[in-house]
A and B are shown apart, each in its own frame.
Chain A
């Protein structure tokens, strides 16, 4: 029968335990450096905790095995209590390492979710920025167009008066009258200014490139088509009641889609599974009316009042800018958005858009009223005379 020496076994065991102790010390130093490089990295924190646990393990493991060998092979039964203590500590360390590792398993999931949320937030931020730029460009261009049209309109009326009076003066002035040349010059210059105004007006009209003649029904239809999978995924019924006749107007298709998509997504989020989202378009005098109704949880009055307040949100992780942009988009179309909600019954959003934004009464007010040619103002230059027909 073979008898194998125990000494190599002990040497290997203690040498191994000692090397492990050194390696865990070095590892702890490295893990500290990782944490120092990026203190908020969950992975580095985990590795650091693990390195600490490994160091404790290597110490405890070395001691408990020495004690075990002393008791089993060197006849030191008095060390049994101490061995149990260190054996118990060993067990605790194993559980701690397992707990840290399993905890990391969950933390890693959370970390990945946080990263995904971060990317999503970045994307949203870029989208908002792009949308904002587009809105700014749109507002600037439209304001310029309106100003140009308003100015052209305002210049043309006095110009008509100047031109009309100068022609009358020409008719009433004798051929040999020296002031006839002045009246001719006034008439010609007035015609030149009129031509310039016409060109200016034509250019200003072309400046409405951000808006195009679009059918609201088509915009709504296309948007709903894009969002349909989201509604289907939540088992929400979509009822689309689109107006039978085309709802033509000067709309920015892209912005309208953004606004509608946001409203539909809000409705989907608020509506429980099996609920209904109704989208309706209709014609109402000079307005195209878009109604979006859901059977969701609704909102109390105090929330409804703050819906369009920037950065106000009831959603975790929400930016509080979505509805603000929606209202801005509607405003840029010279439209009006209203929101009605009842807790437990749902929310109804109504958007009224004029067929042409220049039809809006606000725009009309900005344009100077045209002076009737029959009531001309008195000429301001002393040379022009002061006669009336």
Chain B
């Protein structure tokens, strides 16, 4: 299974990077980003997502999940993995949103939810905060548990 993942992941990565824009890139509408930086940024999110999964796998492989500190760290990585997916979708939605209709001035500004795309942008921004705070809280609590007693179950 691991070998399969190790072979498939780089293959998909290379395929996405090297594919003609009108095929795979168009499928995820990346061609509208327009800059190389946006590609790199999104790829970095995918890489981060994969590394989070690897870490969770590693914790279970080493049987470290029996310790409270590492269990909390697994939650950190799981939430960060979710945040990465959310950020990937959120960036896509945000960067491809053309001519958002903003009503009002200053702090009273409102976003007109005229299509599904706008809803995605709005809610991925909320998820963004809702996932990152618990993730880093778990990271802090996990480290605290490890500092108190690394072997505590």
Residues of chain A contacted by B66 (CB below 8 angstroms): none
Q: Tell me what chain A mostly uses at the interface: helix, strand, loop, or mixed.
A: helix
A31 pairs with B137, CB closer than 8 A: no
Instruction: Please tell me which one of the listed residues A13, A27, A105 contacts residue B139 in the complex, with CB atoms under 8 A apart.
Output: A27
CA distance A30 to B50 in the complex (A): 26
Q: Are B102 and A6 neighbours in the complex by a CB distance under 8 Å?
A: yes
Contacts of A58 in B (CB 8 A): 136
Residues of B within 8 A of A26 (CB): 140
Contacts known (A16-B132, A23-B137, A30-B143); A94 close to B58, Cβ less than 8 A: no
Partner among A13, A98, A105 whose Cβ is within 8 Å of the Cβ of B125 = A13
In the assembled complex, the Cα of A33 lies from the Cα of B94 at a distance in Å of 40
Asked if B31 is an interface residue, CB under 8 A from chain A, the answer is no
Measured between alpha carbons, how far is A7 from B112 in the docked complex, in Å? 14
**With an 8 A cutoff between CB atoms, is B28 at the interface?**
no
B126-153 interface mask toward A, CB cutoff 8 Å, 1 = contact, 0 = none? 1011101100110110011011001000
The interface residues of chain B lying within 8 Å CB-to-CB of A97 are: 48, 51
The reply to whether the CB of B47 lies closer than 8 angstroms to some CB of chain A is: yes
Give the distance in Å from the alpha carbon of A72 to the alpha carbon of B128 in the complex.
Answer: 17
Q: Does A102 sit at the interface, judged by CB under 8 A? A: yes
Whether the pair B147, A105 counts as a contact (CB closer than 8 A) is: no
Answer yes or no: B55 CB below 8 A from chain A CBs. yes
Is A233 an interface position by the 8 A CB rule?
A: no
B10-18, B19-27, B37-45 - interface stretch? B37-45
Cβ distance A13 to chain B, nearest Cβ, rounded Å = 5
Q: Most chain-A CB neighbours within 10 Å: which of B110, B125, B140?
A: B140
A30 engages B47 (CB within 8 Å)? no
Is there contact, CB below 8 Å, between A13 and B129? yes
Taking beta carbons and an 8 Å cutoff, which residues of B are in contact with A? 37, 40-41, 44-45, 47-48, 50-52, 54-55, 58, 62, 94, 100, 102-103, 107-114, 122, 125-126, 128-130, 132-133, 136-137, 139-140, 143-144, 146-147, 150
Residues on A close to B: CB < 8 A? Answer: 1-7, 9-10, 12-13, 15-17, 19-20, 23-24, 26-27, 30-31, 33-34, 37, 47, 51, 54, 58, 68, 72-73, 84, 87-88, 90-91, 94-95, 97-99, 101-102, 104-105, 108, 112
